[in-house]
Amino acid sequence: MSLFRLPPSTPQSDLNMAELLGKVATVQIKRTLAPEWARQSGVQLTWPHANTDWAYMLPQVTECYLRLAFEIATRETLLIVTPDVEATQALINERLPQRATQNIIYHQCPTNDTWARDHAFLTVMSNTGAELLDFRFNGWGGKFAAQLDNAINKSLVSGTQPLLKGKYIDFLDFELEGGSIEVDGQGTLLTTSECLLNPNRNPQLDKAHKEALLKERLGIDRVLWLDHGYLAGDDTDSHIDTLARLCPNNTIVYVRCTDPTDEHYPALQAMEEQLHTFTTAKGDPYKLIALPMAQAVYDENGERLPATYANYLVMNHAVLYPTYAQPDNDAQAARALRQAFPDRDIVGVDCRALIRQHGSLHCVTMQYSWGVLPAHS
C-alpha cells in the first residue's frame, strides 16, 4: 500500500540549454557541464544496504530513500543502483504506487555506500550530445573505502546495450566529486578552496593547474573560489553544495548564520562577505538569497550533524529540499528557494536520517541531462 500522496501537476519548464540541443542545427551550444536546472532525463539513487555504513539504522534511512524515490519517479525517470535488484524492487513495488514504479530503472552492481552525487557521472552537453565524465572518487580524501563505487559508472555504460546514452570519457586520473562544484551553464564554476585545494585530493597539482584542468574538462571559463564557510560534522572538506549554490538569473543562494553564539557564525559571516564581492562574467553583482541556518542537531554521541538547507536537488519541475522537523526554518528555506526557482514546485523531504551519516538530499542524488536516460513515461 502506498504511504505517499501523489504530487500536484507541474508547471511548464523554461527553455534551457539541453532543450536547445533538439532545435535547429545551426544553433551552436557551448560545450559545458550542464547546470542542474537544465532539462534532465532522470536522477540516480544508489540504494542503502546492510553492507554500508547505514547498517545500524537501515530501516530509518530506507524510509527516507523510499520518499525520495517517490518524489523523483513521479516526475522523472529514476535510476536505482543496488547490489540486490530483486530485494530492492520488491520493496519498492510493495510501498510505492504504480505511477512511481513504472518510471524506475534498476541496475545491479556492488557498492560501498550511497553518495551518488560524488561517485556518479558528471554530464557535459554539446552539439554532439552528452559526454559522461568519469572522475575518480577517493572517499573524500581517503577517509572511506570507495573502490566499488568507483566502478559503478563504467558498469552503466558497458556491454552491447549500455544503460546510459552518451560518450564515456575516462578522467579517472583526477579526483573530483559532484558535490564540490556548482556551474551556471554560462562558463562559471563555484567551488571551495578547502575542498578542491585540499592536499588529500590531487596533491600533485597546484591551484593554477587544477583550475586549468577544470576549464578544459568541464568546458568552463572561470572559477570562483570560496575561501570561507564550513559545517560541523561534514566529511567532505566543505563541499560547495552544503554552503552556497548557483541558480538561474545570476543568483546565489547561501546559508546565513545570524546567531553569534553558533560555532559557524564567524566562518559563515566571512563567506557571506566574500559572496558579496563576487561578480558575474559581465561584471554585475550576483543576487544573493539567504537560507536559514538549521538549528543544531546532534547524534547520540553529542556530535553535531551537518544539517543544511543548501543541499537541495533541482529537477525539471520541482526542487526537492531537505527538512529537519524545524517548522520555522523549514518554511523559511522553502520561501527562499521559491524566490530562486519561481517556476518549480518546492517539495520538502525529511532528511534527518541522512544527516546521521553526514550528508543530505543533494549528496545522495545525481541528475542526468536530457537524452542520457530513457524518458519518463
d(CA 22, CA 28): 11
Which pTM does this prediction carry?
Answer: 0.92
The pLDDT tens digits for 310-341 are 999 999 999 999 999 999 999 999 999 999 99
Q: What are the boundaries of each domain within the chain?
A: 17-22+29-369
> Which architecture, in CATH terms, is 17-22+29-369?
5-stranded Propeller (3.75)
pLDDT in tens, 70-127: 999 999 999 999 999 999 999 999 999 999 999 999 999 999 999 999 999 999 998 8
What percent of the chain has a predicted confidence (pLDDT) above 70?
Answer: 92
Cβ contacts of 174 within 8 Å, gap of 6 or more: 135, 136, 202, 213, 217
Q: Which tens digit of pLDDT belongs to each residue from 254-313?
A: 999 999 999 999 999 999 999 999 999 999 999 999 999 999 999 999 999 999 999 999
Hey, which residues does 77 pair with through a beta bridge? 42
- At residue 18, the pLDDT reads 43
**Residue 300, all three cell numbers:** 547520540
Task: Return d(Cα 362, Cα 354) in angstroms, integer.
Answer: 10
CA dihedral over 159, 156, 170, 27, signed as positive or negative: positive
Q: How far is the C-alpha of 9 from the C-alpha of 23, rounded, in Å?
A: 26
**Burial category of 17 from C-beta neighbours within 10 Å (exposed 0-12, middle 13-18, buried 19 and up):** buried
Mean pLDDT of 35-39: 97
Per-residue pLDDT at 6 = 39
